[in-house]
Structure 1
Amino acid sequence: MPELPEVEALARFLTERAGGQVIARVELGALSALKTFDPPLESLRGRTIDGVTRRGKYLCVSTRDEAVPEPRWLIVHLARGGWVQWRDTVPAGRAKPGRGPLALRVGLSSGPGFDITEQGTEKRLAIWVVPDPAVVEGVARLGPDPLGDGFDQAALATALAGRSGNLKSVLTDQSVLAGVGNAYSDEALHRARMSPFKPAGKLTAEDNQRLFEALRGVLSDALARAAGLPAKGLKGEKRSGMAVHGRAGEACPVCGDTVRQVAFATKSIQYCPTCQTGGKPLADRRLSRLLK
């Protein structure tokens, strides 16, 4: 799933490639992906792309038209299997809704364009055309951005205060922190040397400092590695930069212990016992008492 660093890199990539260009074509490939009807998707045609920004895990494409001064945004949530594919030349034939991975095709007046695609059978990618990103419910409820200028240790402490869940679940709650998902929460907890099951609302001041530094460090490092990469290179860069996420059975790069996993129905947690749980494996998330 694309998270904060990848979505930020995609936003910068699209701004560089598509910013200032006029939308000549906009074609839906997956009817279920479009969540709004007014204004219609077709109303984006003829508008100029001002730029692309990120809010949490949402891509936000700002457009303008001197003849229609009202603001209009194309908002995309890539969900688990979504991605952006740049095309130097957009196929001549009109995209048609079907069972393939194409969710949306945007063609630019100068010839190139980009596809929004979604792999897998779990179709959760979502698209909106709105006058303001805040109209989208998921955007409106986002918590603070961990890489935002005003985000500091006090802001993290406030976000976690009184939370009843464990750190893993709270860090991935988008209403608590915007943009952190399964992968970077694993990485931040590993760097902070904390169990994923430690209660989020019971951190000491020292815990909070370690977690803040780990969270900002992991996200900043990932964003720096992604800087300047084309969209097609971001997935590989994300995988190569992981210390524990997706590396169950491999050696921890810090201590050499074997990276372990706790499996859920649709996702999993990867962690290092030596670094995070006092050397003891977490056998089951419901039974584990390894909270420190």
Structure 2
Amino acid sequence: MTSETLAQLSTQIDNVFFVLGALILLIEIAETLFKGSHKGRTFAEMLVSASTQIPSILVEVTILTAGYGAFFVLSDAFVPWVMPITWWSVALVVLAADIVYYWEHRIAHQVRLLWTQHAVHHSSRDYNIITGIRFGPLEGLWSLIAHLPLVFVGFPPQLIFFGLVVVLAYQTWIHTETIGRLGPLDRIFNTPSNHRVHHGSDDKYLDRNYGGILIVWDRLWGTFQAEEETPRYGLKRDFDSRNPLRVWFSELPGLMRDVKSAQTWGDVWGYLVKAPGWKPGHSPDRSE
């Protein structure tokens, strides 16, 4: 398999999930139009979710492009061998990228500095396909750093990017209430039912179901929760804005206030790298 073939396969997979997501979106729009009373709010929520792509794309074409180039430089300079691009290495890198995504995602929930970016994805009180493209401006930078170890394992950068694209593309279709539970598939894959739990702010649903493609990682590492009652979506704290700037930077004002009020450098460090809700002398209460 050549790099060109790999790029074509990546595009085809991305297109398949894009089309699937577009079909679900059309159904969601039709349902919203027939709902009546809340349709204005729902469409406004969709627009602000889509608006988060503006800063994300700006970061992607600048910082992330340079970062992708650095992957090739590091691979050439420090990795004495790389895997050939074959069907088995393609399958292996998707599995590896899915495991990396689980831990990248889990850490983003537990480190407040990273949460300032990932919280944007969780800040909507609605749950629909457009929620899937609601990202913090610098969220992609953490993803790039998290996938860096795969370079030193011996995966060629183009394979790593392929795995990353597949894991993200897969998640297009799971941000919906249109699809219910899927029986045995819910035990293996990250499905709409499993991911609705992840977006819930209810105590029982908080910080659960981090998986990208497979939900088995959550079962393996003790973070799985099945969907029971319908989740209350959004952040646990009272945040319900459709102002794009407030959504893009929703967590930064609170972090800056806490850092400014810190009495010691240890407190500053705690506010930056400990879990959301951490206070000096107290355990985190996840009050985001």
Fold equivalence (TM over 0.5): no
TM-score, normalised to structure 2, is 0.28
Q: Which structure features the higher share of strand residues?
A: 1
Higher RCO (C-alpha under 8 Å, 6+ residues apart): 2
Which structure has the larger Rg over C-alpha atoms?
A: 1
Q: Which structure features the higher share of helix residues?
A: 2
TM-score, normalised to structure 1, is 0.27
